[in-house]
Chain A
Amino acid sequence: MSKRAPNSGGQQTNKREPVGVRHHRLHRPPAELAGGRITASTPMSPEMVDRLFWRAGFGPTDADRQQWTGNTLGAAVEWLLSTPAAYSGTPGTDQGAALDPTGNDSDLVLSWVDQMNRSINPFVERMTFFWHEHWANSRESVSPPQLLMTQTELFRRYADFATHPKANFADMAYAVTIDPSMLRYLTGELNVRGAPNENYAREFMELFTLGVTDAAGKPNYSQTDVEQLAKAFSGWQINDTNPNNVYSYFTQSRWYDGPKLVFGEFSNLTAADAVKLVLTRRAHAPFIVNAIWNEFIASEPDAATLKALTHLYTTSGMQIRPLMQAILMQPQLFESLDEPDMVKPPIVYVVGAMRAMGLKITDTTASDYLDGMGELPYFPPTVAGWEGGVSWLNTDTALARFSFIATLLQDTKIKDVQGETAAEAYARAYAAVGSPWLAPATQAKIMHFGAAAQSSTPDTRINRQITLRALILAGPDAQVM
């Protein structure tokens, strides 16, 4: 989520956030592992299963829990990393009509949310969305919308490790560099010999691959490097004559053919050379490791862990799968199991709630409320993506989160069970919204509310169900994972 220029040294450069944002350090080992260490062969507790599926997906289903509780962490992670992108059921709709992603922007958003909602391996969509956050392009200035859809397919190739087990960041960085959406969004298509356009070159280093400074605060690149790198990136354009078959192409005569002085050395770099050169900088590996780590884990990696992960990344040829495998098995991912410690990003909250309640996309509720919660896919506020972390929560977005669930519940057919006791009503409500984590005190209070509720008529009993479900799924505890 939050990723404006995480730097290469284990802390984020974005110190504009208020105190505490993402600087949370809770190195508490999971209670059940006191004295032990999480490894691939650690059998998973129900809490670990929940944690893994929230962080690596959109929350656990009952089937996930049944399948993985007692099974090893290594096996579950292997499943997430080797199960291809596939979707269950039939595609969602908007008021009965098929979604039309190129026809209107709500449907563009909904079609991806629908894929997340129906994904068999949720990790693929979650990781694909991470890349969208990382290489954030916005529909605000990218047309036709097909460009963004194609870009998402590109991202998915670096998230679906069953199909692309050797996917590596170097290939991805080059593919994105010449991707039509990116060429349009950061005006690379106008980068021409004689008048190099620095936009992409700067963001490539600042936001996508290096960060502004290293761990010691030393700049990772100079203005000269930006200007010279821009020349290497020149010459690419977009053919969008057919919006369904947009492609980029290189025109030799528009390319700056001559030596470029990047990082102190002259060389006649092409775009491909330039990508490779930047990725060999020492700052790159820790930068990308931190960026991915921070998407899934609340606390920061310690120096030794960061070093081990950067080593793994570098020696594997910048492959993403081994790095992901290591990150998903980090003990820190399972810290604070008794009290989850990351805020659910809106996309995770929305898709998680729909999956928990077994709902399909049938109208624009999901996209409307994603907007209200501050994370409308395909509309990142800036090329730096979303701020993320605890910044997701304020008085306005808390109401949006609650109203989203209230709207879903209003549209849900809830059965009246005559003679249902308060305890039974609670149990039914809890199960109906996916049995999410609640602090014991929270659970006790909600049960108390249920016990005090009227239940003499069908209407009051249904209202009791709705209230219980809303308090369980839309209260403060439901916002963390």
Chain B
Amino acid sequence: MSEATQGNAASEQFEQFERSIGEVHALRCADCARSDSMVEGVEPTSRVPIPPEALAGFPDGVPRPPVGRQSRRRFLLGSAVGMASIYSAAHLSWESVWDAAAARAATPAAETILVSIYLNGGNDGLNAIVPVSQAQYAGYMAQRQNIARVLGPSGGGKVGTTVMPGTGGTLAFANPLVSGTGNNGAPVGLDTLYGDGSGGAGSDLAIFPAADYQPANLSHFESRDYWFAGALDDQMATGWLGRWLDRYGSSTNPLQAVSINSTLSKSILTDTAPVCAISNLSQTNFQLPFANANPQIASLAGIAANPANLALTRSRATYGETVQMSHEVSGLNGVSTAPGYPSNSDLSSNLQLAATLLSAGLGTRIVTIDWGSFDTHGDQISSQDPQFAVLSQALAAFKADLIARGLEQNVLTLVYSEFGRRIGSNDSLGTDHGAGGLVMVSGSSVLGGLAGEHPGVQGDENDNLVPITDFRTVYQALISEWLGGDPAAILPDGPFPGIARYDGGTTLVK
């Protein structure tokens, strides 16, 4: 589709009109109006073989739960149990699956984990990482005077900036991203994660100020699809992480990739590997008022359907995977209550759930979270900055939570959005769809610092940033340096240029 430029033109027209009538509306262009949940695509391709006759019995009729499940739950609660009894012949198929899970938990995984946070709507990176060199700042100020950050502390109704170490004084964090009173209000933030920007100890946040693809498409739909697919191809049926799972993941464990949502992120759509969606842990069983019907559902899910009947095949497989997921997470009732997470934020609760799942040793390699509302066509400051404050605190709290759980060294957290926004602001105190989005990778295993250069505010003919970093450069590094595997087998059209740090480094991971 060619709606990229169309979408842009439409919003432009719209903004012209807004200017013409001198009103400031928080209105949505068509693209934005329909964009909100195209993020989530379709859910797991469910090809995990469902063991037949996995469990028989009746909630109140036969002594239950089966030994294996009991073991699993008690294991999760921390009490040691013998594993021998779970090889009950009658239950071999399901039990072998659960046993594998228990074994994973028994030997805390040293496997690398990626938590992928998608900022919904196209985050304006230019008001997050501000070019503050003398030459650049003048251009920045001139083009977006009505929403521009000021140099130094916030004041006089203007939001300030804090210079990022290791950038030669050329770049600064917008203060809502930075710790402290008058900034994000918390003792931690992106500045504390970023440290001195050297990539040494305590410098654990890599920043790509403008990662994207060219030419900019400007459509939420197309751009998201590209980012999720890891390819400039909106016909791709699988996500980039999904293809990695198909190739390098488990063929039986849906917990290997979890969308913390009621729908699956398109980034983890697979061809064959099972994945799952979990929106909360309050209801993870097929629960009846007086009993848990998981065993019966597992049995019904195990009946073979005509493979040509995709609907029934999918339904039974999904039910089977749900039971499997349920068995793995049913002991995890208490979600993390670690301190420091911003209160009343979906991002916090999603990250807390992620931390809980990761520390349960369920073989989870990928977690996806979709968060926020960054399509700031109007009144950007009041919408973006509070979200920045939450984001910076939440990322820091998540890191601390993972450290307390002894997991942090195994986890990288990726933050991205489908595009950046127009350099010049509009008359609605907002910005329109643009190019070159902010990408961040957090974790003590990350080589912190400026991982890609800032393009500066001399835009292209459409007043868009000229992205320095291809987004697939980041994916390529995450695969080769972190998740493991051959990026060429996952990302079409590669290889892509390597990481080009401001300090000359070429790696993402310490």
Q: Is A141 an interface residue (CB 8 A)?
A: yes
Stretch of B53-61, B94-102, B379-387, B414-422 on the interface side: B53-61
| Contact of A449 (CB < 8 Å), options: B57, B237, B284, B308 | B57
Q: Is B288 an interface residue (CB 8 A)?
A: yes
| Contact of A187 (CB < 8 Å), options: B27, B276, B312 | B27
Q: Decide if A186 touches B237 in the complex (CB within 8 Å).
A: no
Q: Decide if A202 touches B6 in the complex (CB within 8 Å).
A: yes
- Least CB distance from A470 to B in Å reads 6
Interface residues of B in 375-413 (CB under 8 A from A): none
Q: Is A298 an interface residue (CB 8 A)?
A: yes
Q: Is B10 an interface residue (CB 8 A)?
A: yes
Total contacts A to B, CB within 8 angstroms? 279
Q: Is A383 an interface residue (CB 8 A)?
A: yes
Q: Is A394 an interface residue (CB 8 A)?
A: yes
Stretch of B158-166, B298-306, B427-435 on the interface side: B298-306
- Least CB distance from B492 to A in Å reads 15
- Least CB distance from B210 to A in Å reads 26
Q: Is A226 an interface residue (CB 8 A)?
A: yes
Residues of A within 8 A of B248 (CB): none
Q: Decide if B2 touches A219 in the complex (CB within 8 Å).
A: yes
Residues of B within 8 A of A389 (CB): 42
Q: Decide if B291 touches A394 in the complex (CB within 8 Å).
A: no
Could you tell me the distance between the alpha carbons of A400 and B282 in the complex, rounded to whole angstroms? 12
Contact with B along A394-433 (1 / 0, CB 8 A): 1111111011001001100000000000000000000000
Residues of B within 8 A of A395 (CB): 43-44, 254, 276-278, 318, 321-322, 325
Secondary structure at the B interface, as helix, strand, loop or mixed, is loop
Q: Decide if B312 touches A453 in the complex (CB within 8 Å).
A: no
Q: Decide if B254 touches A18 in the complex (CB within 8 Å).
A: no
Interface size on B, as a range, is 35 or more
CB within 8 Å for A15 and B237 given contacts A195-B16, A374-B263, A467-B58: yes
Interface residues of B in 18-71 (CB under 8 A from A): 18, 20, 27-31, 33-38, 40-46, 56-62
Most buried by B among A18, A394, A400, A452: A394
Q: Decide if B35 touches A382 in the complex (CB within 8 Å).
A: yes
- Least CB distance from A86 to B in Å reads 32
| Contact of A452 (CB < 8 Å), options: B29, B58, B312, B319 | B58
Q: Decide if B14 touches A197 in the complex (CB within 8 Å).
A: yes
* CB nearest neighbor in A for B304: A441
Stretch of B183-191, B264-272, B358-366, B461-469 on the interface side: B264-272
Q: Is B9 an interface residue (CB 8 A)?
A: yes
Most buried by A among B20, B41, B291, B322: B322
| Contact of B315 (CB < 8 Å), options: A382, A400, A477 | A477
Q: Decide if B296 touches A471 in the complex (CB within 8 Å).
A: yes
Q: Decide if B28 touches A187 in the complex (CB within 8 Å).
A: yes
Residues of B within 8 A of A202 (CB): 3, 6-7, 10, 30
Could you tell me the distance between the alpha carbons of A200 and B28 in the complex, rounded to whole angstroms? 12
- Least CB distance from A383 to B in Å reads 4
Q: Is A31 an interface residue (CB 8 A)?
A: no
Q: Is B333 an interface residue (CB 8 A)?
A: no
Give chain B's interface residues, CB within 8 Å of chain A. Answer: 1-3, 5-7, 9-10, 13-14, 16-18, 20, 27-31, 33-38, 40-46, 56-62, 225, 234-238, 254, 261-264, 266, 269-271, 276-279, 283-291, 293, 296-297, 299-301, 303, 305-306, 308-312, 314-316, 318-319, 321-322, 325-326
Give chain A's interface residues, CB within 8 Å of chain B. Answer: 15-21, 24-26, 138, 140-141, 185-187, 190-192, 194-200, 202-203, 206, 212, 219, 223, 226-227, 230, 298, 336, 339-343, 372, 374, 381-384, 387, 389-391, 393-400, 402-403, 406, 409-410, 439, 441-442, 445-446, 448-450, 452-454, 460, 463-464, 466-467, 470-471, 474-477, 479-480
Q: 4 additional contacts, CB 8 Å, given A19-B271, A475-B319, A477-B312?
A: A195-B16, A202-B10, A402-B297, A476-B318
